[in-house]
Structure 1
Amino acid sequence: MSGIAPAQAAPALAVSTVASGLDKPWDVEVAPDGTLITGERSGRFVAVRPGGATQTVRADESRLFVTNEAGLMGLALDRDFSSNRTLYSCQAEKTSDAAVGTGSLGNVPVPFPNTGQEIRVVAWRVADDWSSMTRSRTVLGGIPVNSGGRHAGCGLTTDADGTLWVGTGDNAVPSYPQSRTSLGGKVLHITTAGTPAGGTIPGTPIYSLGHRNVQGIAIQPVTGRVYSIEQGTSRDDELNLLQPGGNYGYRPDRTPGIYDESVPMTDPSRVPGAIGAVWSSGAPTLATPALTFLPTDGWGDLSGAVVIATQQGRRLVMLRLSEDGRATTARTDTLAGTYGRLRGLGVDRDGSLLVTTDNGGGADRILRVRPGA
């Protein structure tokens, strides 16, 4: 299934700046009223109102744990946002102590090492005027994150049925990707109450395992297929078509107790039945934090394509998928080297593509990309 699709010439694109003066905006969502909402990794929520006015959305993020890859990360709007004003965030938070505590896999309590911080999915209620947000509840906790913030994952998206998909990182812990008692190195599927949703390993929210660092999840229009993007080692960032209970073959424990990144991203020799990627980057890695699907019309030959943001690659990778969604038929790279590191992706109501940059220093932007010069 995996492979490098034939390259095609980059299309003519029109790029404009929607908002500037941002610092590592991790994700971007579009509200029904046309407001764009993003969150800087350091914990600031920012709204871009219709007409272009930018405002800070006040929120109490005093619990936030920010270091390296960890902080305020994935965002998702509730499917009934117009009526309930609920926004979900996937974020690292400080916990009260560093003792061994009790987490949960769905509704099943399990012991987990409380290292002083964990990843949580948090529900917020947004004020009607976008001036502030109030924390409603923790939807799911117990997702591990190490003190260095490495491989914190935190991809987040809402399905059409209102359930949530959560991508997690393996924390560079060799046992996590294949463990069924850790939420690290997984894709989770949960209800908005935090209980397991469809297709998960019984008694857990784990939908798939054998992942390294899943920072993006997207649902293909029309088919409803769920895809994840994860960052590779020194090679092979992967686009995966998710299957219930599927194992995607990352197993970095070849030497006991050592996190061995020389292993393949998908290793069927050590993980029988490992599911191969739909697409992999080859070498070197591009560092792929996000994906989305273009609308099914209005983009010419690229209509319906998968768009993947890259950080080290500093470009957008656009992939056409086969009819069954298990292979790629064409690849187009664009915006190469023009805007630096690219991170968050979204699609606005008019079908234009939204892209956040990830360069730091208060110089980041939300870009709008349309077909045509």
Structure 2
Amino acid sequence: MRTIALLSVATVIFVACQSNSPDHASTPDEHQDSTLSPVETKKPNTTYKPAFEGQTRIAGVRTKAGLDVKVVAEGLRNPWGMVNLPDGRILITEKGGTMRIVSTSGQLSAPITGLPPVNDSGQGGLLDVAIDPDFSQNRLVYWSFSQNVPPGTLTALGKGKLSADEQRIEGAAVIYQAKPAFNSSLHYGSRLEWDKQGNLFMSTGERSDIVSRPQAQQLNSALGKVLHLTKDGKPVAGNPFMNKDGALPEIYSYGHRNVQGLATHPETGDLWEIEFGPRGGDEVNRIQAGKDYGWPEITYGLEYSGERIGKAITQKEGMEQPVYYWDPVVSPSGAVFYSGNMFPEWKNNLFIGALSGMHIVRLVIKDNKVVGEERLLEDMKNRIRDVLQGPDGSLYAITDGGNGKLLQIRSK
């Protein structure tokens, strides 16, 4: 493993990374060494006001511990999602339709094949991955991907068994399709997250187009949703719209734009969601069953053209407010709550990969509110696609692109 020269975060200068990046905030907790200025310094895209104090541009915080950052592996082809295997290795998806395993020593396996064809144009391809809670016994793997389904494409969920030689997926099957299919190569979502009962949360995007966008609000469509599915891809009993006429029973929450982050709080068990905004308005939400999260009726962002969206409102009765938002955006992707012992000061903090932001977001959360924000690895200038906590309490990240890297962050 090659060590990267990295300044201790205690000495990192908090500077904006990129024109379409980051964010800020306003008052850290008792575990932090100081209250700093918000990490975002760029002018917001809008003049919209937050609904409550600390909803955006919260005060900055700094990690006290020194950070040791290593490149564990490189040469990944557009990596997208990753998951820990029981023996400490990491299974990683590649957007083109294969998976790879990275050993604890950093060795990269040959591509794992046998998955259904993916449409990897635009934002599509092989997306997130999860292993069965009983993987040690059944070797079952689940993955989300963009599938060709005339007249377009959709986000699908696959399931199969990792072969004993780890070279292929056996018995691959598509167990769920987020319909309707739509002719777009954008906004597929999609993250996978287990609940405590062994069911899967799966997120989708609303496919971006002005025509498909309203379906985020429609309960007869799986676009722009957080879904709750069994291991067989069926609706989970007790889902909030199970007995509602005209509604898909797999829907758990709705009104989402493009959800690429799902994470479970280690103490409360709450599901948190992170989604892309347009020009401004990236969001962090605490998901509650049956709730409407507003897109495209309310937003803290603008069209990419600079035009206002819809009625240009940020609040509406019956629609949830984001716990936190960014303007300008950081382009948030994979996320994880920290529960390890290597960094005690990070306990229960939320970590998010930032693509256009080119850093890892650290959010300090107290009583379901963000009270501090930090940017990690800014100086490395990498688009961070996903983050993962290792068994030893280190933090892993994968970088986006044709020569993707697996990074490991440990305490010095």
Which residue in the other structure is 1:215 paired with?
260
Provide structure 2 residue ranges, at least 5 long, that are not aligned to the other structure: 1-51, 244-248
Please name the residue that 2:191 is paired with. 155
Q: Is the 8 A contact 1:122 1:135 kept in 2?
A: no
Q: Output the CA distance in 1 between the equivalents of 2:70 and 2:89.
A: 17
C-alpha contact 1:228 1:242 (8 A) present in aligned 2: yes
Aligned residue in 2 for 1:368: 408
Q: In 2, distance between residues paired with 1:337 and 1:259?
A: 27
Q: 1:201 aligns with which of 235, 241, 264?
A: 241
1:4 counterpart (57, 62, 86): 57
CA distance in 1, matches of 2:372, 2:298: 35
Indicate the residue corresponding to 1:237 in structure 2: 282
Alignment pair present for 1:349 and 2:388: no
Aligned to 1:101: none
The 1:266–1:48 alpha-carbon spacing in structure 2 relative to 1, beyond 3 Å, is farther
RMSD, matched Cα:
2.4
Cα contact 2:338–2:348 (8 A) shared by 1 = yes
After TM superposition, list the pairs within 5 Å mapping 1:44-123 onto structure 2.
44-61=98-115, 63-95=117-149, 98=150, 115-123=151-159
Query: What pairs up with 1:265-280 in 2 under 5 angstroms?
Result: 267=313, 269=315, 271-280=316-325
Q: Residue 286 of structure 1: SS of its match in structure 2? A: coil
Contact 1:117 1:147 in 2 (8 A): yes
Equivalent of residue 309 in structure 2, options 250, 260, 263: 263
Distance change (3 Å), C-alpha of 1:143 and 1:156 = farther
- Structure 1 residue 252, shift from structure 2 partner: 5.5
CA contact (8 A) 2:265 2:271 kept: yes
Further displaced range: 238-247 or 300-309: 300-309
One-letter code aligned to 1:4 = R
CA pair 142-308 structure 1, distance change in 2 beyond 3 A: closer
What residue identity is the alignment partner of 1:303? K
CA contact (8 A) 2:72 2:105 kept: no
Confirm or deny that 1:191 pairs with 2:230. Answer: yes
SS at match of 2:136: helix
TM-score computed with the length of structure 2 as normaliser: 0.78
Q: Do the aligned partners of 1:266 and 1:275 also contact (CA within 8 Å) in 2?
A: no
TM-score normalised by length of structure 1:
0.86
Change (3 A) 1:193 1:40: same
Equivalent-residue separation in structure 1 for 2:116 and 2:406 (angstroms) = 26
Residue 300 (str. 1) matches residue 353 (str. 2): no
Q: Which residue identity does 1:352 align to in structure 2?
A: S
Per-residue CA deviation, residues 61-114 of structure 1 (Å, 9 max, x unaligned), is 45211111111001111111111101110001123xx3xxxxxxxxxxxxxxxx
Q: 2: CA distance between counterparts of 1:175 and 1:69? A: 20
CA distance in 2, matches of 1:356, 1:24: 9
Distance of aligned partners of 1:151 and 1:145 in 2 relative to their CA distance in 1, 3 Å threshold: farther
Q: CA deviation at 1:331?
A: 1.1
Match of 2:202 in 1: 166
Name the residue aligned to 1:251. Answer: 296
SS of 2:232's partner is coil
Instruction: Check the 8 A contact 2:132/2:142 in 1, yes or no.
Output: yes
Q: d(CA) in 2 for partners of 1:338 and 1:189?
A: 37
Contact kept? 2:178, 2:223, Cα under 8 Å: no
Q: Which runs of 5+ in 1 are unaligned?
A: 99-114
Distance 1:144 1:56, change over 3 A: farther
Equivalent AA in structure 1 for residue 201 of structure 2: W
Q: By how many angstroms is 1:371 displaced?
A: 2.7
1:304 deviation in Å?
1.7
- Following superposition, the deviation at residue 339 of structure 1 comes to 4.0
Partners of 2:292 and 2:317 lie apart in 1 by: 9
Change beyond 3 A, Cα 1:266–1:154: farther
Tell me the alpha carbon deviations over residues 138-191 of structure 1, each in whole angstroms, 9 at most, x when there is no partner: 221134554441111111122222100111000122321101111000100111
Which is richer in strand?
1
Aligned to 1:108: none
The question of 1:286 aligning with 2:330 is answered yes
Q: CA contact under 8 A between 2:116 and 2:172: conserved in structure 1? A: no
Q: Distance in 2 between matches of 1:34 and 1:321?
A: 28
2-side partners of 1:309 and 1:58: how far apart?
25
Contact 2:127 2:145 in 1 (8 A): yes
Partners of 1:202 and 1:160 lie apart in 2 by 20
> What CA distance in whole angstroms lies between the structure 2 residues aligned with 1:277 and 1:264?
18
User: Secondary structure of 1:54's partner?
Assistant: coil
CA distance in 1: counterparts of 2:353 and 2:409, whole angstroms: 13
Paired residues in the alignment total 345
